[in-house]
Amino acid sequence: MTILGDAGPKAEPSEVYEVWKKACDEAFAAEGTLTTFPELPRGVKTCRERSCMLRKGSKDGTSAGDLDVCIHDVEKLLKGSGCYGLKWLKTERVKWHPDQFARRCADGFKEEGVAKATEMFALLGGLVGKENRKGD
Ligand SMILES: [Zn+2]
């Protein structure tokens, strides 16, 4: 399986982010033609917290664990952007809204694409909440 947005094991965080971002921009520009999801780079899937490991490992037919990432992995990836913050996160989150994402997917990919976008949307929502609690 090839993973879109993989910049290699020795890449700088900004490099990893840029490669992934490019895959995302291509996905966001699609109109009913998308057949692959811009998966998060393997290099950022490093969180070993117990609760996250349990969640990531779940392959019991629920949507949880589909992306194989946790909120800490996503945070790490997004910080490579250099513009991480509450306002920026809110803008990013909108791009993953399941309704918007559904329109980009080809018919056979809609179910998987929307399920994964829903997970990304929720993860970004969690990060927005985390920034909010910082008292911004
Ligand atoms: Zn984690």
The pair of structure tokens assigned to 79 is: 């910080």
pLDDT value at residue 108: 95
- Residue 118 Cα to ligand 1 middle (Å): 18
3-class DSSP assignment, residue 59: coil
Cβ atoms of 93 and 125 within 8 Å: the answer is: yes
pLDDT value at residue 63: 43
pLDDT value at residue 134: 86
∠ CA 95-55-86, nearest 5°, is: 35
pLDDT value at residue 116: 95
- Residue 100 Cα to ligand 1 middle (Å): 27
- Residue 6 Cα to ligand 1 middle (Å): 20
The separation between CA 4 and the C-alpha centre of its own chain, rounded to angstroms, equals 12
Question: CA gyration radius for the chain?
Answer: 14
Strand pairing partners for 105?
Answer: 34
pLDDT digits (tens, 9 = 90+) for 25-69: 999 999 999 999 999 998 899 999 999 988 776 555 444 447 889
pLDDT value at residue 56: 79
- Residue 52 Cα to ligand 1 middle (Å): 5
pLDDT band for 2, please (50, 70, 90 cuts): very low
Helices (H) and strands (E) in the chain, counts: 6, 0
pLDDT digits (tens, 9 = 90+) for 80-127: 999 999 999 999 999 999 999 999 999 999 999 999 999 999 999 999
